[in-house]
């Protein structure tokens, strides 16, 4: 069902599955007929609305649960060809990740062996493939559920919120790219990140973080528990140090986390406005005014024109209600972070980074 991107099975396929199972356990033929009828009447299975002779799970969560268990059994048995087809299809839902990790923990299987198998499966795929993304998600959930430590995750693309609600200790992440992550209800202890890139890290009062080390890493922005977002690299490093995260560089220019640069007022307002686009692509005029407070008129009258002229923002048609202007973030957050780094607090230098 997962590989074929369908939530429904034809009755004939359901019968074929029953036949395969019955043959594997040498079930008598008269019992096979009963099993086929009972399967159709099972509490978790309902008749599909798509066709008369179709059946599906009553809720999508049931598919996630059994898919997770199937992944775990393939990991234990070493059926990697089938497992690769599953991992390469699409991003696995959170329910699948939890189900896989829970099954492996209950089965008492070797978590270290399973993690190594996953790493081997992902090596043949590109860094942006679903395979590598799913391997990363599964690895983190397995390490959390099975209390694994001293394991290295290398060269994978970490999906959004992959570190949310996990308990990790002693792990190492090397050459990984982290999409926006949230560490709400997470416990991270003695974790080392080497040459990793973070699009955004969101911290919460429930985050328990200690003895974290980042070496040659790049964090484009951070967000505190109040929703305040910081882009400036120096201020980002200072922010991380408050959470017991040690930032180091092996290059010729060590990372300076002590000195904070003074930004132009216009650049400060730009940063506040960009917060309106952190979790959405579009933002209307009212959203921006809420972010800017009593400085909204100044931004709308002058700074907004500069951002539109440089192509950082573009104005789009308002397809909803009201007469408010609507804007779309045209530049990538990575570009904005790089421009802020080069600008060194200077508004004109920031704009110049987007001018051709």
Strand 282-284 vs strand 326-329: parallel, antiparallel, or unpaired?
Answer: antiparallel
The band of 127, judged by pLDDT with boundaries at 50, 70 and 90, is: low
Structural domain including 189 reads 160-258
Confidence of residue 252 (pLDDT cuts 50, 70, 90): very low
The pLDDT tens digits for 129-176 are 888 888 888 988 988 888 877 788 888 888 888 888 999 999 899 988
Q: pTM of whole model > 0.95?
A: no
Which helix (H) or strand (E) segment holds residue 341: the answer is helix 333-343
Please, which pLDDT band fits residue 356 given cuts at 50, 70 and 90? low
Cα–Cα distance measured from residue 351 to residue 148, given in angstroms and rounded to the nearest whole number: 47
For residue 65, pLDDT beyond 90 = yes
Give me the DSSP letters along 18-76.
HHHHHHHTT--HHHHHHHHHHHHT-TTEEE-SS-TTEEEESSHHHHHHHHHHHHHHHHH
User: pLDDT (tens digit, 9 = 90+) per residue, 14-50?
Assistant: 889 888 888 888 888 889 888 888 888 888 888 877 7
What is the percentage of the chain residues whose pLDDT exceeds 90? 24
What stretches of 180-299 adopt beta strand conformation (E)?
Answer: 181-182, 187-189, 192-194, 197-198, 201-202, 208-210, 212-215, 218-219, 222-223, 229-230, 245-248, 282-284
The whole-number pLDDT of residue 91 equals 87
Would you say 245 and 163 are in contact if contact means Cβ atoms under 8 Å apart?
Answer: no
> What's the CATH code of the domain at 297?
1.10.10
| 214: Cα within 13 Å, side-chain hemisphere | 21
Compare 270 and 342 and report the one with higher pLDDT.
270
In a domain, 2, yes or no: no
Q: How many domains does the chain have?
A: 4
Say whether pLDDT at 179 is over 80. yes
- Which span out of 203-212, 220-229, 259-268 was modeled with the highest average pLDDT? 203-212
Confidence of residue 195 (pLDDT cuts 50, 70, 90): very high
In a domain? residue 1:
no
Mean pLDDT confidence for 222-238 = 81
Cα(178)–Cα(158) distance, integer angstroms: 5
Q: Please check whether residue 155 lies inside any domain of the structure.
A: no
Question: pLDDT tens digits for 92-125?
Answer: 998 999 999 999 988 877 777 888 888 888 777 7
Q: How would you class 179 by CB atoms within 10 Å of its CB: exposed for 0-12, middle for 13-18, buried for 19 or more?
A: middle
| Sheet arrangement for strand 45-47 | 9-10, 54-57, 45-47
Q: In this model, does residue 338 exceed pLDDT 90?
A: no
50 in the same domain as 20:
yes
pLDDT of residue 258: 37
223 and 269 belong to one structural domain:
no
CA angle (58, 63, 65) in 5-degree steps: 115
Domain finish residue from 115, 146, 177: 146
Q: Are residues 174 and 211 in the same domain?
A: yes
In a domain, residue 4? The reply is no
Q: How far apart are CA 59 and CA 64, in angstroms?
A: 9
Domain boundary among 22, 41, 56: 56
- For 304-307, which contacts have Cβ atoms below 8 Å and span 24 or more sequence positions? 306/266, 306/351, 307/270, 307/273
Q: Give the span between the Cα atoms of 96 and 89, in whole angstroms.
A: 14
| Statement to judge: residues 135 and 165 lie in one domain | no
How would residue 254 be classed by pLDDT, with cut points 50, 70 and 90?
A: very low
For residues 58-86, average pLDDT = 88
For the stretch 150-163, pLDDT in tens is 788 888 888 888 88
Best CA proximity match to 291, nearest among 228, 213, 211: 228
Domain CATH code at residue 222: 2.160.20
Last residue of one domain, picked from the residues 258, 276, 301? 258
């Amino acid at each position: 069902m997962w590989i074929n991107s369908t939530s429904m099975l034809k009755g004939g396929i359901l019968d074929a599955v029953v036949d395969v199972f019955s043959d594997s356990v040498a079930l008598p033929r008269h019992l096979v007929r009963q099993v086929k009828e009972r399967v159709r009447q099972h509490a978790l299975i309902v008749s599909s609305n798509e066709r008369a002779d179709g059946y599906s799970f009553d809720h999508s969560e049931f598919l996630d649960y059994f898919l997770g268990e199937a992944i775990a059994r393939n990991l234990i048995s070493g059926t990697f060809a089938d497992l690769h087809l599953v991992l390469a299809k699409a991003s696995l839902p959170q329910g699948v990740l939890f189900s896989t990790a829970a099954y492996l923990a209950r089965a008492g299987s070797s978590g270290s062996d399973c993690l190594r198998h996953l790493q081997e499966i992902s090596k043949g795929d590109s860094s942006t493939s679903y395979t590598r993304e799913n391997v990363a998600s599964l690895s983190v959930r397995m390490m959390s559920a099975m209390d694994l430590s001293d394991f290295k995750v290398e060269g994978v693309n970490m999906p959004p919120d992959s570190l949310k609600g996990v308990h990790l200790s002693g792990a190492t992440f090397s050459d990984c790219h982290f999409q926006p992550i949230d560490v709400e209800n997470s416990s991270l202890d003695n974790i080392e990140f080497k040459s990793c890139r973070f699009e955004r890290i969101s911290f919460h009062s429930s985050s328990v973080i200690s003895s974290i080390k980042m070496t040659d890493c790049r964090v484009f922005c951070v967000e505190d528990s109040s929703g305040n977002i910081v882009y400036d690299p120096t201020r980002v490093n200072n922010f991380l140090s408050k959470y017991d995260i040690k930032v180091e560089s092996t290059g010729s220019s060590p990372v300076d986390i002590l000195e904070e640069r003074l930004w132009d007022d216009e650049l400060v307002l730009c940063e506040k406005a960009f917060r309106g686009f952190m979790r959405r692509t579009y933002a209307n005029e009212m959203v921006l005014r809420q972010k800017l407070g009593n400085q909204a008129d100044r931004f709308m009258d002058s700074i907004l024109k500069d951002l539109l002229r440089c192509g950082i923002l573009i104005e789009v048609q308002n397809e909803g209600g009201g007469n408010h202007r609507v804007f779309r973030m045209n530049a990538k957050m990575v570009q904005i972070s790089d421009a802020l780094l080069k600008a060194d607090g200077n508004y004109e230098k920031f704009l110049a980074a987007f001018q051709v």
